[in-house]
Structure formats: C-alpha cells, structure tokens
Amino acid sequence: MRVVIQDNYDKMCKWAAQYIAAKIKNHKEDRPFVLGLPTGSSPIGVYKELYTMNQAGELSFANVVTFNMDEYLGLPHEHDQSYWYFMHDNFFDHLVDMKKENINILNGMTDDPEGECKRYEEKIASYGGIDLFMGGIGVDGHIAFNEPFTSLSSRTGVRNLTTDTRIVNSRFFGNDPEAVPAQALSVGVGTVTDSKEVLILINGHNKARALAETVEGSVSHKWTCSALQMHNGAIIACDEAACGELTVDTYKYFLDIEKKERL
C-alpha cells in the first residue's frame, strides 16, 4: 500500500487529480479507460482539478467510461441529494467531451434493486473491469456504502445504512437523520478491490481513526477499508489533518518512502 501524505486538502486533491490524469493519458489499450468514482465532500477538489484540465484541453474524457460507487435508494435524479445529481453538478456537466452513454450510476429508483445490481456488475465485467477506482471513506471506515461488517468479498447490492452514517450524512438533509434514505445501492468491497488500482482520499481530523485503521489496523470487516491492505495497487492520498492517529513510525515511514514523489 502507498500512503501519500500532502500538507493540506488542496494539495491532496491536486496530487490525486494528476495521478488520475496521468493514468488516463498513458492508457494506450484498444478499449476505454474505466474509472470508478465516488461522491462526498472529499472528491470535490479532485473533480475541479480534473475538469479544469479537461476544459483547458489538457485531458480528454472521450475514451473514459465511469462507474459510480453508490446511490441512495428512492431518490430520483433531480433530487439535489441524489448521487446522480451530485455527479452531474460537480463533475460531468463541466466536462467538454464526456460521452453521456459512458456514465454509469446505479439507478436508485429501480423496481428491481437486485437485478439492477447484477446488471451493474455485468456491465463492469463487459469492459474488462475497472482500471482505477477512486473512493472516499466514511468516519467508520466504510468504502462506498459498505458499512462495518459488510463482507470483504461483497459484490454490488442493497445496503442498509447505519444510524451513524445517516447522522453524518444528515448535514445534507436539513440535519434530520430520518430524512436520509435508510438504504442505498452500492458496489461491494470485492467490486472495489477487483479494480486494478484503488485510490482512496482521506482528509480531515474526523477521518484520523479511519486512516489509522486502514493502514495500521488488522484486516477486518469491522473496518471495510482495511481490505485495501490485501490489494496490490492500493493508494491512500491523505492530508496532514487525517494523520493524527497514525503512529510516528508509520507517518515517518511513508514520508520517507514517498520522498521521490513518484506518480
């Protein structure tokens, strides 16, 4: 696992965006680059960096297919807290050459959630899998909506959200946890770790424990992010604020090993 520690949120976002841009540009295969994407406040700065490069003609998305991690069950596209809305508002609408048909987001209004999830897995497989999955992390260490004790080999499916997550996400729903949908569709931990590379953004003091558990904790379904320790291409991009619960030797190790700032 790589842990790339940047001074602050802006630098973390710049680093992550440059990493993703380099991967897209260097993709020479005769098939699209397949990019997994998250919602949340953490990736907003990365999206801004990416669409700025795109608008400046420095990075094309014409040959990129995207798959989003998750979506609330029961929210229509036009709901301003649906992840469909978030992704268009914060990213897709700003790209000049992203093809609509290359955007994949789980349909939270489906009548057949199980079928929708199966279809999603099949579509990912039809592209030969995901090249790079970018993600965020919940304060309880969840990746996508894989709450504590979700199987580390789980696939795309329906997830019940914990009270903790609904309280955390209630900041977007008028501070009312009951207004946060109780269920979501989410890629599984296994879906994420099947990707060739996984890049997780972890920033801010409130994510310090989640970062420590991801990097230093045991591999455990209690912290679903810890599954990344078993992945051969996992990168954590974080800021100083999130490092508060790492042991000093871990912190120094990653600063030392990443000194060369390899992309």
Could you list the active site residues?
70, 140, 142, 147
Q: How far is the CB of 164 from ligand GLP (least distance, A)?
A: 10
Alpha-carbon span 91 to 47, nearest angstrom: 6
Nearer to ligand GLP, 27 or 209 (CB): 209
Q: How many residues bind ligand GLP (CB under 6 A)?
A: 14
Contacts of 133 by beta carbon, 8 Å cutoff, 6+ apart: 35, 36, 69, 192, 195, 197, 198, 199
H-helix segments, the chain: 9-25, 44-55, 83-90, 113-126, 163-169, 189-193, 208-216, 248-257
Interface residue with ligand GLP, options 136, 141, 157, 188 (CB under 6 A): 136
3-state secondary structure of 138: coil
Alpha-carbon span 42 to 98, nearest angstrom: 22
Give the 3-state secondary structure of 67-78: EECEEECCCCCC
Q: Footprint of ligand GLP on residues 31-50 (CB under 6 A)?
A: 38-42
Q: How far is the CB of 9 from ligand GLP (least distance, A)?
A: 11
3-state secondary structure of 146: strand
Q: How far is the CB of 13 from ligand GLP (least distance, A)?
A: 12
Nearer to ligand GLP, 102 or 169 (CB): 169
Nearer to ligand GLP, 103 or 200 (CB): 200
Q: Is 146 in the site for ligand GLP (CB under 6 A)?
A: no
CA angle centred on 258, ends 255 and 263, rounded to 5°: 145
Encoding tokens for residue 204?
A: 């801010």
One symbol per residue from 156 to 195: x for binding ligand GLP (CB under 6 A), - otherwise; what is it? ---------x---x--------------------------
Instruction: Single out the segment in contact with ligand GLP by CB under 6 A; choices: 49-57, 122-130, 137-145, 224-232.
Output: 137-145
Encoding tokens for residue 17?
A: 């965006």
Q: Is 70 in the site for ligand GLP (CB under 6 A)?
A: yes
Interface residue with ligand GLP, options 144, 234, 235, 236 (CB under 6 A): 144
Q: Is 138 in the site for ligand GLP (CB under 6 A)?
A: yes
User: What residues make contact with ligand GLP under the rule CB under 6 A?
Assistant: 38-42, 69-70, 136-138, 144-145, 165, 169
